[in-house]
Amino acid sequence: MRWSELRALASKDCRELFGSTAFALLVLVIGPLVGMSFISAVHAYSEASGGGLGQAALASALSPLDGILVPAFGAYDLLITFLVPFIAIRLVAAEKSSGAIALLLQSPASPGSQLASKLVALLAGWSIVLIPAVAALSFWRASGGHLSAPETSALLLGHTLRYLVTCSLAIAAASIFDGAASAAIAVLAITIGSWALDFFAAGRGGWVATVARYTPSAMLRQFERGLLEYDAVIASFVATIALLVIAAAFLDLRVSRRRRVIRVVAALVVAAAFFAFGRTSRSADLSEDRRNSFSLADEQLLRSIDRPVMIRIHLAAEDPRANDYERNVMTKLRRTIPRLHAEYPYAGRTALFDGDDRYGTILYRVGAKEVVSRSTTEEIVLDELETLAGLTPPQRGEPEYPGYPLNASPRGAATLFYGVWPLLVLASFVISRRPYSRRTG
């Protein structure tokens, strides 16, 4: 693939994307959505900081990541799930329905180059769609609000990776199915299936929980906590490449059905091999309050444990304690203890009314020693594990995170997101639809 070919194809796809009514509606909608989320988040944050008649919350509990960033970017979660697939499908379906795909196959550019150019155009569109988010964060900074660059970058990366996977899935569906409607239904069905898998795997172990970790929603939740998991980044790129390879196999009308099947199977096998054998437990906690990590002293002790550690959690998935334990303790333990194995005896059943005496208990085993506890508190769990390993628990003080309370008002935000932004989008769309001769006079 030559860069000149990719540049020419990307220019064509960008003109087609930016000149479409569907993309204009997408850009038009995202402004008010981000504005509504951001303004509501700022008001709630101000109330928690003691604004109005409310009483100030604990300062260390006021984090811009939870209070501002995640709510403001929540609009993009909706956008990527329900609207972006139609934009990506249109780029491929329009060429298939008009017969342009047959002409493109006669050009020197390969199907892979054509799909790469469409992905470049969609990424260019993503940069435009992100403008309201940049405006919201600028409003927050202008109001005196605090932002952590690593937290913001992690959240932006998470949404961008999800956008890439969704676009690739939509392109693959449009390449496989004849109509845009069928492709859209297929993407929606896969999305709903990932939600069902994510819900079913809650509080369960085994292969179900392992697979569910790679659903788009589960991976995005990690980025929303400021946790950069290398697995999630690599898995997103592997899924994107595999889906584009499958799409290229179906778009290339010159190959036989046998060769097409071989290419699709090869892409699926390589992707499955990564998920089975290429995973890594490495991650980076980019949150400013270190919510995904233990204290430095505890981490040093836990990493020094050279014996297998087993935890058997006798809690049903429906039990709120199971979710709290998974979120606040197990996530950190997986990042810290090298030889950790977790078991969920009640996976797949409620067990809330079985009358089992073991229910509600958690068994910890380090080597040949074990202890049973009913506590899900982080400090008690650490004490149990470190004592079993023959280590002395360190002295623990108060969290060092200061928190960032701020009583602010998003002045001018409503005018920008509800008024100026729609007018700019409409004006740009009208100008782009005018004939070139009239625009040049």
Specify the pTM. Answer: 0.88
Alpha helix (H) residue ranges in 2-148: 3-18, 21-48, 64, 70-82, 84-98, 100-105, 111-129, 131-142
DSSP labels, 255-279 = S-HHHHHHHHHHHHHHHHHHHHHS-
Asked whether the beta carbons of 35 and 76 are under 8 A apart, the reply is no
Q: What is the DSSP letter of 16?
A: H
Asked whether the beta carbons of 303 and 309 are under 8 A apart, the reply is no
End-to-end CA distance of the chain: 38
DSSP labels, 359-396 = TT-EEEEETTEEEEE----HHHHHHHHHHHTT-PPPP-
So what's the pLDDT on residue 182?
Answer: 92
Residues belonging to the chain: 441
If the chain, 441 residues long, is cut into consecutive pieces of 10 residues, what is the mean pLDDT of each piece? 72 88 94 95 88 59 90 93 93 78 66 85 95 96 93 96 95 91 93 86 67 87 92 91 91 81 90 77 88 91 92 85 87 89 76 71 93 92 93 82 86 94 92 58 45
Q: How far is CA 221 from the centre of its chain?
A: 6
Complete domains list, the chain, with CATH? 3-284+409-439 (no CATH), 294-388 (3.40.30.10)
So what's the pLDDT on residue 436?
Answer: 44
So what's the pLDDT on residue 128?
Answer: 96
Asked whether the beta carbons of 15 and 22 are under 8 A apart, the reply is no
